[in-house]
Structure 1
Amino acid sequence: MSDTALSLAGRRVLVVEDEYFIAWDMGDSLQRAGADVAGPVPDAEQALAAIEANTLDAAILDVNLKGDTVYAVADRLSTSGIPYLFATGEVEIADRSDYRSRPKLEKPILSDELLRAVGKLFAQA
Structure 2
Amino acid sequence: MTLTDRRILIVEDEFMLAQGIQWELEDAGAVVIGPKASVASALELLDHETDIDAVVLDVNLRGEEVFPVADALCARSIPFIFASGYADEVITARYPDAINCPKPFTSGSLLRSLEAALH
User: When the two structures are superposed, what TM-score results if normalisation uses the length of structure 1?
Assistant: 0.87
2:21 maps to which residue? 26
> What is the DSSP-based 3-state SS (H/G/I as helix, E as strand, rest coil) of the residue aligned with 1:25?
helix
For the residue of structure 1 that corresponds to 2:43, the secondary structure is helix
In structure 1, the residue matched to 2:90 is: 93
Task: Work out whether residues 92 and 98 of structure 2, in 8 Å CA contact, stay in contact via their aligned partners in 1.
Answer: no
Q: 8 Å contact 1:12–1:57 — kept in the other structure?
A: yes
Say whether the 8 Å CA contact 1:62–1:87 is kept in structure 2: yes
- Find 1:41's aligned residue among 26, 29, 36: 36
For 1:109, what is the secondary structure of its paired residue? coil
Query: Pick from 48, 60, 64: which aligns with 1:53?
Result: 48
Query: Which 4+ runs in 1 deviate beyond 6 A?
Result: none
Amino acid across the alignment from 1:102: A
Distance 1:114 1:94, change over 3 A: closer
Quick check: 1:8–1:34 contact (8 Å CA) kept in 2?
yes
Following TM superposition, by how much is the alpha carbon of 1:121 offset from its aligned partner in structure 2, in angstroms?
Answer: 1.3
In 2, Cα distance between the equivalents of 1:39 and 1:33?
16
- Please list every run of 5 or more consecutive structure 2 residues that lacks an aligned counterpart in the other structure: none
Q: CA deviation at 1:53?
A: 2.4
Q: Does 1:110 align with 2:83?
A: no
Aligned to 2:67: 71
Q: 8 Å contact 1:93–1:100 — kept in the other structure? A: no
* 2:91–2:100 contact (8 Å) kept in structure 1: no
SS at match of 2:35: strand
Q: CA deviation at 1:50?
A: 1.7
Query: Are residue 83 (structure 1) and residue 79 (structure 2) matched?
Result: yes
AA aligned opposite 2:48: A
Q: What is the total number of aligned residue pairs between the two structures?
A: 117
Structure 1 residues not aligned, in runs of 5+: none
Shift of 1:101: 2.7
Distance 1:95 1:120 in 2: 16
Please tell me whether the aligned partners of residues 87 and 104 of structure 1 are also in contact (alpha carbons under 8 angstroms). yes
